[in-house]
Amino acid sequence: MKVAALQTALTDNVEANVRRITELVREAAGKGAQVILPSELFEGAYFCQTQKEEDFARARAATEHPTLVHFQELAKKLGVVIPVSFFEQAGPEYYNSIAVFDADGTHLGVYRKSHIPDGPGYQEKFFFKPGNTGFKAFATRFGTIGVAICWDQWFPEAARAMTLAGADVLFYPTAIGSEPEEPDFDSRDAWQRVMVGHAVANAVGVVAANRIGVEGGMTFYGSSFVCDARGDKLAELGRDAPGIALADLDLEKIRRVRASMGFFRDRRPHLYRGLVE
């Protein structure tokens, strides 16, 4: 599976952002990418820095969502898989969601972000209800993938659940950067390490796509990357420049590593009940 993580600065102009992401998808596909990951909530600015009621107007239903329709058609035209992050309205409820489109344009389903942060600069609990889809694996033309969103990526349980569901590669669209109340704190290295840990502990590939640039009081630190089941980085972007992190993941090798390491053979679920009690 050839994978790509897209990284770019975003404005609050939906048309311009969709056009920019489309350009990057086309570029990645032209380089052979089969599964292409844009960053979290790429339609606009990261509006969750503040609590403004008018920002609920950004949400759309998953059915007949113009951005989803556009990327569904693009996935079919280019023959690629695209997990598309969007702000979802479902009746009176609002979710931070991903729609996964297969390489023939088939809508494989929606995942809703399970872990919702609430802190300075990341006030998502005001907008998003915790997801009710559970963690899924999506069988695409090129292999079985799991998708989770930003804060989800810090939780080992999420990575394990997606792998147990059959995923060989985990995809994490992200919007993360500076901490407004802790200007000297930089979470970039920890952010990468925790996902590399998921790759190693579950013997899966990991793809993470972040945004860059300054929005309001936040500086997004990019650093999108791809790593393999041993935790080795195969591609990585810098903090400031737009681009595509492109890498080949050998799915047969990933499965052999998983089998040989014995992490799933030696699991003792009955001993872990305290984790959910």
Res 238: pLDDT:
98
Say if residue 231's pLDDT is above 90.
yes
Query: What mean pLDDT is predicted for residues 200-221?
Result: 97
Res 23: pLDDT:
98
Residue 230 β-bridge partners: none
Please write the tens of the pLDDT for every residue from 107-128. Answer: 999 999 999 999 999 999 999 9
Query: What mean pLDDT is predicted for residues 48-60?
Result: 97
Query: What mean pLDDT is predicted for residues 60-75?
Result: 96
**How many whole angstroms separate alpha carbon 253 and alpha carbon 228?**
10
Rounded to the nearest integer, the mean pLDDT of the chain is 97
Q: What percent of the chain has pLDDT over 70?
A: 100
Res 39: pLDDT:
98
Q: Look up residue 185 and give its amino acid.
A: F
Say if residue 9's pLDDT is above 90.
yes
Res 183: pLDDT:
83
Res 64: pLDDT:
83
pLDDT bin (cut points 50, 70, 90) of residue 41 is very high
Q: Are 206 and 199 in contact (CB under 8 A)?
A: yes
Res 276: pLDDT:
86
Phi, psi of 242, deg, nearest 5: -70, 160
**How many whole angstroms separate alpha carbon 69 and alpha carbon 193?**
35
For this structure, is 150 an active site residue? yes
Residue (of 123, 78, 85, 136) closest to 105 by Cα position: 78
For this structure, is 48 an active site residue? no
Q: Which of 113, 124, 136, 227 is catalytic?
A: 113
Q: Are 88 and 36 in contact (CB under 8 A)?
A: no
Alpha-carbon Rg for the chain, nearest whole angstrom, is 18
Q: Look up residue 262 and give its amino acid.
A: G
Say if residue 61's pLDDT is above 90.
yes
CA 210 to chain centre: 8
Res 253: pLDDT:
96
CATH of 2-275, picked from 3.40.50.300, 3.60.110.10, 3.40.50.1860, 3.30.450.20, is 3.60.110.10
Query: What mean pLDDT is predicted for residues 24-46?
Result: 98
Q: Which of 40, 43, 88, 215 is catalytic?
A: 40
For this structure, is 233 an active site residue? no
Query: What mean pLDDT is predicted for residues 26-33?
Result: 98
Token readout for 80 is 């690629």
Say if residue 252's pLDDT is above 90.
yes
Q: Which of 43, 150, 215, 227 is catalytic?
A: 150
Q: How many CA atoms lie less than 13 Å away from 239 in the CB half-sphere?
A: 10
Res 219: pLDDT:
97
Q: Look up residue 274 and give its amino acid.
A: G
Say if residue 277's pLDDT is above 90.
no
Please write the tens of the pLDDT for every residue from 160-188. Answer: 999 999 999 999 999 999 998 888 899 99
Res 77: pLDDT:
98
**Structural domain boundaries in the chain:** 2-275
Say if residue 10's pLDDT is above 90.
yes
Res 217: pLDDT:
86
